[in-house]
Amino acid sequence: MPLLKVEGLGKLYDGETKVLRDVNFEVEAGEFLSIIGPSGAGKSTLLRCINRMVEISEGKVIFDDLDVGEMRKKELRKLRTNIGMIFQHYNLVPRLTVIENVLHGRFGYKSTLQGVFARFTEEEKERAFFLLDKLGIAEHAYKRCDQLSGGQQQRVGICRALIQEPKLILCDEPIASLDPNSSKVIMDYLKQISTEMGITCLVNLHQVDVAKEYADRIIGLKKGEIVFDGPSKLLYEDQIENIYGIETRELITV
């Protein structure tokens, strides 16, 4: 049984703009999969359909043998504890400290009252420090997040996702705002999370060379449709040209 199964997925905005068309794929537990494609191909929408941050228009998303599209609010909240999300622009609370932002990843396990008063157990706090140490930023635990570099903030975002104890992490352009050195650090950590912790990772990327280096498998999206799905080593120049179009091929590093 795959961890994630996407069947005939379609997404319409305003009842007419079709962003995703008949998308079908499966993801096994522990797999590191990258989704590539030009801007507007539907990569971000696809991730947001998987955790239902946006509503599904057509088809199904089955996660851990549960139909995501059929879930009510309470069920969806529980589901999202198993799906971490990492954003391009970090999505942190800038005025709060690093440790506070990481602990926000536990909100899905809390009652409303516990969440409002930020009531966390000693075990949760210890876990937060363990993760910060694992990602090399424990020394910044009590700094405000807006005092950190972009790469450091993204590591905070990864810690926040990991403290949820997820089975799946969705990464939406996690290195798009970073310099090459910081990008490598983030991708190394994501790969480590996948291989050492067995957490499934779906990573949206613009950089084809990065996808080929880190991903076990690549899905190529073009105008909301899958035009490539296979092992990274089988993504050749002609497939890249098909995904991005001949006019943009020169902009893609391979």
Residues 225 and 56: beta-carbon distance below 8 Å: no
pLDDT for the residue numbered 254:
40
pTM, to two decimals: 0.91
Model pLDDT, residue 248: 47
Instruction: Using alpha carbons, select from 179, 181, 167, 173 the residue that is nearest to residue 89.
Output: 173
Beta-strand ranges (E) seen in the chain are: 4-13, 17-27, 32-36, 58-63, 66-67, 83-86, 168-172, 200-205, 217-222, 225-231
Q: Which CATH code for domain 1-82+167-254?
A: 3.40.50.300
**By three-state DSSP, how is residue 222 classified?**
strand
Residue range(s) occupied by CATH 3.40.50.300 in the chain: 1-82+167-254
User: Strand pairing of 83-86 and 66-67?
Assistant: unpaired
For the CA atoms of 6, 206, 98, 200, the dihedral, rounded to the nearest 10 degrees, stands at: 30
10-residue averages of pLDDT along the chain (254 residues)? 96 88 97 95 96 95 96 91 94 95 85 62 94 96 96 96 96 94 96 94 95 97 96 94 71 46
| pLDDT score of 249 | 44
Residue pair 176/206 in contact (Cβ under 8 Å)? The answer is: yes
How far apart CA 84 and CA 10 sit, in angstroms, is: 22
